[in-house]
Structure 1
Amino acid sequence: MKKFGLALLYTATMALANPVVADVAAAQAAVAGDMKKLSFSEPQPVGDGVIVSFDGEQMNLSESNGKWRVVNFWATWCAPCRHEMPMLSQLQSDLGGEEFEVITIATSRNPPAKMKAFFDEIGVDNLPLHRDPKSYLARQIGVLGLPVTLILNPEGQEVARLTGDADWASDEAKAVIKALMSGS
């Protein structure tokens, strides 16, 4: 009877896990272009480091908001970040809504005034200006260079990571994100 119970538990666990595996498989199948740099992983925690909104409100990235999120770590002095940010803005315009959002986190010393000036200079007005002023969260989750972009599932867990800049407004990037979202 004990073996039957374990077999039933195993079968139930696999049945619940299969939709997630299918979503990742579909996303991996959609990988092309800049998205070839994207590495997928089993869902994993993103740490408990606090980030700060532009207005000074403290937030925890690991707290789920029920949306798929593309989370970009950047800095005002980062040239690839300057190149990539308008594409993240376009991704937010194209897919943002009840099921998806782009979040930006300036890590290290990035004064809010300089962050706002950076966004103004590159014409980005639809992305949030969050900060990780002491890089605590960035260090905790292994952000070793910039930019780094994570994809979080609706439970607030990292499922993919891309190091370096990428064309997040591309059809390839949207296909990956839509494939991940399709089973949730």
Structure 2
Amino acid sequence: MLRPLTLRSLVLYTALSLCANALPAAASPLSAELTALRQGEMSRLAVMETPLPVPDLPFTDETGAAHSMTEFHGKVVLLNFWATWCVPCRTEMPELDALQGAMAGPDFAVVTIASGRNPQGQIARFFDQAGVTHLPRYQDESQRIARGMGVMGLPVSVLIDRDGHEIARLIGGADWSSPEARAVIKAAIAR
């Protein structure tokens, strides 16, 4: 028998592979709109035909205080899983920081979570070296939230709607400050 986290991973990756190129006519208006915006930097964006609930699992900040994604309900969130040793993350993190600086507010937030062994000192050095000033320093040392969301490699960015459901996912690095990325975010905020 498969464990629930493994089953979720299989279901998620099956869903991603089936909807990565085209969605059936019954897709929601938002998923159809996001699919139409899959251009340039967002060409690899996998859009969920049916939004998936994001698990309410804990992660911590630089002080060790516990947080969860429920704190962000009511906002569209770009949740990024990364690590200090991840080479594509070095390029992507300043772009996520620029997106947070330009678009963060009552309707949107970028949440970055260092997954696995990433001590806060290493996270601080990584942010300082990359010039990151707008993002919080969250971490998930146990990788509970990453596993719960079927994250198998890094970086992975997950677009979450205001109700706490995954609506799209991009595996690998991307320029999140690009016009294509901002168009995807604006479409999600507009719903």
Q: If the TM-score is normalised by the length of the shorter chain, which range does it land in?
A: 0.7 to 0.9
TM-score (norm 2): 0.82
Following superposition, the deviation at residue 27 of structure 1 comes to 1.9
Q: Structure 1, residues 5-44: CA drift from partner, whole Å, max 9, x if none?
A: xxxxxxxxxxxxxxx9222222221221121111011211
Confirm or deny that 1:28 pairs with 2:35: yes
Checking the alignment, whether the CA contact within 8 Å between 1:78 and 1:146 is kept in structure 2 is: yes
Normalised by the size of structure 1, how large is the TM-score? 0.85
Mapped contact 1:70–1:101 kept (Cα < 8 A): yes
C-alpha displacement at 1:84, in angstroms?
A: 0.3
Asked if the contact 2:112/2:136 (under 8 Å) is kept, the reply is yes
Q: Is the 8 A contact 1:24 1:180 kept in 2?
A: no
Deviation at 1:181, TM superposition (A): 1.5
The alignment status of 1:79 with 2:87, answered yes or no, reads: yes
The verdict on how the C-alpha distance between 1:169 and 1:29 changes in structure 2, with shifts beyond 3 A counting, is same
Aligned CA distance change for structure 1 residues 64 and 119 (closer, same or farther; 3 Å): closer
SS at match of 1:47: coil
What residue is the counterpart of 2:140 in the other structure? 132
CA displacement 1:60-115 (0-9 Å, x = unmatched): 22454310000000000000001100110111112111100100000001000110
1:122 corresponds to:
130
Q: Secondary structure at the match of 1:128?
A: coil
Pairing 1:54–2:62 present: yes
Matched residue, 1:110: 118
**Equivalent residue, structure 1, for 2:3:** none
TM-superposed deviation, 1:172:
0.3
Question: 2:108 matched to which residue of 1?
Answer: 100
Does structure 2 retain, via aligned residues, the 8 Å contact 1:48–1:60? yes
Alignment gaps of 5+ in structure 2:
1-26
The residue aligned with 1:150 is 158
Q: Go from structure 1 to structure 2 and tell me whether the alpha carbon gap of 1:102 and 1:64 turns closer, same or farther (over 3 Å shift).
A: closer
- Could you tell which deviates more after superposition, 160-169 or 25-34? 25-34
User: Counterpart of 1:136 in structure 2: which amino acid?
Assistant: R
Provide the residue aligned with 2:99 in structure 1: 91
Q: For residues 107-154 of structure 1, what are the alpha-carbon distances to aligned partners after superposition, in whole Å with 9 as ceiling and x for unaligned?
A: 001000110110000100100110101111111111100000000101
Distance 1:167 1:22 in 2: 25
Percent identity of paired positions between Structure 1 and Structure 2: 43
Residues matched between the structures, number: 164
Equivalent pair of 1:107/1:133 in contact (CA under 8 Å): yes
Secondary structure of the 1:43 match is: strand
Whole-angstrom distance in 1 between the partners of 2:172 and 2:128: 22
CA distance in 1, matches of 2:80, 2:172: 10
Runs of 4+ in 1 over 6 A off after TM superposition: none
